[in-house]
Amino acid sequence: MTKQQILNAIADKLALTRPVVSTGSSEPRDFLVKIIDRLGISEETARLTKPELASLIVVALGGEWDESCYSAGSTVTKVGLERILSELTFL
């Protein structure tokens, strides 16, 4: 699956509007915030980076987050997005 396909699957699972992956396959930050809101995770998100937001989601769902899940450019990797989707399958 591509990053876009993974994000589409996450959006469909949570009944969210599908996001559009920007140039360089970067996931939109606001989409990660929408996931947090939809899951009812109570955490201040304003100052968190995209990897920190994604980590919050995965860990709150009981998954593991590691260095393979994000890159130095504050981007969540395909592995990180797959972890979110994988943990959502248990909902």
pLDDT of residue 57: 97
- The predicted model scores a pTM of 0.93
pLDDT of residue 73: 78
pLDDT of residue 90: 80
Calpha distance 42→21 (Å, rounded): 26
pLDDT of residue 72: 82
Residue 44 DSSP SS3: coil
Q: Confirm if 77 and 70 have CB atoms less than 8 A apart.
A: yes
pLDDT tens sequence for the chain (91 residues) = 999 999 999 999 999 999 998 877 788 999 999 999 999 998 899 999 999 999 999 999 999 999 999 998 789 999 999 999 999 988 7
